[in-house]
Amino acid sequence: MQNETLKALFTSHKEPSLFGRYITLNNLSPLIANLPNTFKVEVIGHSVLKAPIHSITIGKGKKRILLWSQMHGNESTTTKALFDLFNVLSSNSEIANNISNNCTLTVIPMLNPDGANAYTRLNANEVDLNRDAQNVSQPESKVLKAVFDRFKPNYCFNLHGQRTIFSAGATSNVATVSFLTPAAEPTRAVTESRTISMEIIAEMNAMLQNEIPNQVGIYDDGFNNNCVGDSFQSLDVPTILFEAGHYKDDYDREVVRRYIFQSYLTSLNYIALNEIEGKKHEKYFLIPENDKLFYDIIIRNTIIDSKRVDVAIQFEEKLLKNQINFIPVVKKIETLQNFYAHREIDAKNASVSDTQKKSLNIGAIVDYIMINNEKVFIKKY
C-alpha cells in the first residue's frame, strides 16, 4: 500500500479517546464494550488483582494471527494503535475486507492491566511476564498460553515499547520503530519460521523507510526461552516483536503511534494477500541492530570543577496523580563525543551548576540548571 493511503486511514480512523502514555483498562473498557457485533469479545481470564483480561477476535479467514499488547504495563503505544486498527477493521474499506476475509485475528489488547494501572513493566506480583514463558507462574502468563494453545496461531505479534536510549545502529539516528524475529534456539539459526517473519519485517521496513529513513532497528536475537517470543518461535510459529520507540519531541508517542498503525496494516495486508514462504527474507539483514547511544539531553562543552565535560540527562518516568511525569536525572558527567541526545544544549565552555550554584552530581534531579548566571529549564515534558 502507498504511504499516503496509510496516512489517510490513520487520520480518519485514529481513536480520539486514547492519548499519551498512561493507558489503563479504564480507558479501554468503554471502547471494548462498544465494538461492533463483528468483533467477538471474551473475558479470557483475570490478572493478579482480578482485573479482566479481554480477547477480541476479528475476521473469518484461515490465516490465524495472535497479537498481544501491554504485556509490560507501561508500554502503551502499541495498544493505542490497536484501537486505531480496530476502527479500520470496522469499516468497509478494501484493506479491511482483505484482512477480514483472509485472516482471523485474536487480539489481547492489555495483557497486564495491573501493571498498566501502576505504570510499571511488571505485574502486581512484580514478575516480568516476558520472562515467564517456561514457568508460566502468573495468571496473565497462563491466559496468554491458554489462548495460544487454543487458537493455534500461524503468526504471533508481540507488541512492546522501547526507551529513548536506542539508536538504529552505531549512528546518530534514533530507533523510532524496532523489530525482531526472535531466535528459535541457542545457535540462532535462521529457521523456516524465522525467514517468514523476516520477510514480513522487511515489508514493514520498506514502508517505514519512506517516512523515517534510517530510523528503524532490530534487536539482538540472543536466545532466551523464558521470553515469550523466543518460546513461541521455538514452536515453529513465525513471531514478530514490535517496539514503539522515540521520535523527536514525541514523548507522548503520538507520532510513533502512526508508524506502528501503518506497520500493522502493512504486515496484515501482506499476510492476507500472500502465501509467505520466507524466500524474500534477505532484506531483513539490511536493518541495523539497535545500539544504546542516546540520552534525552546532553549539555555540551560545560565546565564543572574546572574540567571540560558533557552532562547527560535521562528522563525517568513517574506516575504522579494519574499523569506521567518525566523527571530529569543526571546520568553521566564525562566526555560524550560518541553519544547523542534528543535535545542538545551548548554551554559554550561556561560553568554549569544547579540552581543553588552547587556542582552537578550523578543521580541529581535537575529541573533547572545554571549556565553562568542564566537559568535554563530542563524539564520540558
- Least confident range from 1-5, 28-32, 64-68, 314-318: namely 1-5
Residue owning grid cell 470496522: 90
pLDDT tens per residue, range 53-96: 999 999 999 999 999 999 999 999 999 999 999 999 999 899 99
Residue 84 confidence (pLDDT): 98
Provide the 10 A C-beta neighbour count for residue 104.
20
Residue 244 confidence (pLDDT): 98
Q: What is the mean pLDDT of residues 15-20?
A: 98
**Average pLDDT, rounded, for the chain:** 96
Query: With contact defined as beta carbons under 8 Å apart, do 226 and 131 qualify?
Result: yes
Residue 357 confidence (pLDDT): 86
Burial 40-51 (b: 16+ CB within 10 A, else e): eeeebbebbeeb
pLDDT at 137 over 80: yes
More confident: 66 or 2? 66
DSSP string, 18-36: --SS---HHHHHHHHHT--
Query: With contact defined as beta carbons under 8 Å apart, do 155 and 239 qualify?
Result: yes
**Nine cell digits for residue 60:** 473469518
Residue 381 confidence (pLDDT): 58
> Which residues are registered as beta bridge partners of 134?
none
**CATH architecture of the domain with range 3-292:** 3-Layer(aba) Sandwich (3.40)
Give the separation between CA 145 and CA 114, rounded to whole angstroms.
Answer: 18
**Nine cell digits for residue 173:** 539516528
What is the three-class DSSP state of 314?
strand
Instruction: Please report, for the chain, the start and end positions of each structural domain, with discontinuous segments joined by +.
Output: 3-292, 294-377
Residue 359 confidence (pLDDT): 86
Q: Residue 232: pLDDT band by 50, 70, 90 thresholds? A: very high
Q: What is the CATH number of domain 294-377?
A: 2.30.40.10
Backbone angles phi, psi at 9, to 5 degrees: -65, -40
DSSP string, 228-252: HHHHHHHTT--EEEEEE---TT-TT
Residue 277 confidence (pLDDT): 97
Residue 380 confidence (pLDDT): 60
pLDDT tens per residue, range 333-375: 999 999 999 999 999 999 999 888 888 999 999 999 999 889 9
- Report the candidate in 213, 196, 187 with the shortest Cα–Cα distance to residue 154: 196
